[in-house]
A and B are shown apart, each in its own frame.
Chain A
């Protein structure tokens, strides 16, 4: 099983979709960091932004809206076509006969999840490391120009998803947010990849399920309040919408993962070698 996951993973990272989406996220993360660093040239030391806040997933960043809008489409690229490609080139039969039907699908789910996680977590970690090289470690401003560790700072933090972690260390908060974004990317990748069981003819249709899901959620948010906006309020870090619920965020991820796994595993009972 471990060998099969490794094999599927190594096939996945060689695909153009994964490489393109990873490169795009990396360019986005680094461009955000360099943009904010360039705006601080000539600033006094006391006015510099802290490295933890110069992140592409910071909702206060000037490009966050752009990231939120392209993410539902970029999520498809790393591993959304993985199962579809296997069906098309008929490698499914070879792998299933060698390893078994169930093992094949379980390893597929694991490799798809890992590929999705990597694309939406690793670039932002690399971005943080770049920030640490450029910005002094004890710079004390946020990108909304509030100084750190003041009353306003803590008031803003009280509306974030992990206010205690944020109050303790914004770096730790950023890392937790990046991991959760990566996990969302993985769950969404499994959700999208699972639609290959319907034997769709064209890859373009894989862009539809997640976008529709996010659109329906946004309608709910329009009706019941901003705290239900998955992308802006949860995937992005440092978001100040009040009333957010970690349970809601985890429920969305569990739904995506369970739906995807359920659809894929239901196919495992229908496949015969």
Chain B
């Protein structure tokens, strides 16, 4: 898919986000609109919330679909030609992983910033500009890391079994994490184990309203009051990402040629 098509889709999504809040511009300020409509908020643990959450994650899923073959495509097409010309495959792989990361940063930033901008243009009032900048940057970092992890995993799985199975596996794992939010609610968040379990769920780490901050912006977030620092989420997701990249590097060192066409499976 062309890069321009991806950015056009992302801008369209931002416009749709703006349309969603059009009737609510008098009720909510920009901070709350961003937290509710982009930041996967409304933490009521009902089945209907799970439905909304799964749909609000569409921009993330879109990036996974579009970038899910970013590294895989090099193993799929002309592998003999491509890899005989790269002296150090590990260096190449780390380079591609880095390029994938920056591609995702670019797409997610475009989505968040354009959505915020369109909401402001459509009449949502700006109640606290510093808080808005903090929340937007936090969402960009958390969404980028989360999307990067799962997009990277799709790429790696695709190398072995094809892109459609890679996506299905990753999407199933994400749905399991979404369902686990219901289990977290049953266990509770105030006790030790429940508190740690919800922080270990990758989905919880991208729901901005679960988090708290020491910078005085908890008015719009920290709905669960579980002392869930954004810095913790960033470090957690970064460590998962590094683990995935180096595990894949170790595994893929021995793969030279893609003899079988993985796209013909299934």
- Residues of chain A at the chain B interface (Cβ within 8 Å): 15-17, 20, 62, 64-66, 68-70, 73, 76-77, 81, 85, 88-89, 201-208, 211-212, 215-216, 218-219, 222-223, 232
Contacts and interface: CB of A to CB of B under 8 A. Distances in A.
A216 to B, nearest CB: 7
Contacts of A219: 16, 19-20
Interface string B68-103: 110011001100000000000000000000000000
Majority secondary structure of chain B interface residues (helix, strand, loop or mixed): helix
Contact of A216 (B16, B69, B179): B16
A215 B51 contact: no
Contacts of A206: 164
Interface of B: 1, 9, 16, 19-20, 22-23, 47-48, 50-51, 54-55, 58, 61-62, 65-66, 68-69, 72-73, 76-77, 154, 158, 162-164, 166-168, 171, 175, 179, 261, 263-266
A66 B58 contact: no
Contact of A204 (B54, B55, B154): B154
Majority secondary structure of chain A interface residues (helix, strand, loop or mixed): helix
B1 A16 contact: no
Contacts of A76: 164
B22 A207 contact: no
Nearest to B264: A88
B48 A65 contact: yes
B171 A203 contact: no
A70 B166 CA distance: 15
Nearest to B47: A65
14 contacts: A16-B265, A65-B48, A88-B261, A202-B73, A203-B164, A204-B166, A207-B65, A211-B61, A215-B16, A215-B58, A216-B16, A219-B19, A222-B19, A223-B19
A201 B73 CA distance: 9
Contact of A65 (B1, B51, B69): B51
A88 B263 contact: yes
